[in-house]
Amino acid sequence: MTPSPRQRHVAVLDTVKAVLWSFIGLRRRADFERDVQKLNPVVVLATGVVMAFVFVGVLMLIVHWVVSP
């Protein structure tokens, strides 16, 4: 059975939220356990890599903006 578009949208938001919380380093144990049971680890890994590249890109843009005359 394939998930509905709404279920996929919610899963994507849950994945992004879990990755953002892990970037910060703050996560309740119960939420972590729920994520382990609910989320696909490959999708979480891919989301983390993409978000890390976005983070580095934003930092580079900020540095470029600050040091440019």
Q: Inform me whether the pLDDT recorded for 15 exceeds 80.
A: yes
Using only C-alpha atoms, the chain has a radius of gyration, in whole angstroms, of: 16
User: CA torsion angle for 1, 47, 30, 9 (degrees, to 10)?
Assistant: -40
Report CA torsion sign: 47, 48, 49, 53.
positive
Kindly give, in sequence order, each residue whose CB lies less than 8 Å from that of residue 35, ignoring residues fewer than 6 positions away.
Answer: 14, 18, 44
Residues of the chain with pLDDT > 90, as a percent, come to: 46
- The mean per-residue pLDDT over the stretch 53-68 comes to 96
State residue 4's pLDDT score.
Answer: 65
Higher-confidence residue of 27 and 56: namely 56
pTM for the model: 0.75
Please report which confidence band the pLDDT of residue 10 belongs to, taking 50, 70 and 90 as the band edges: low
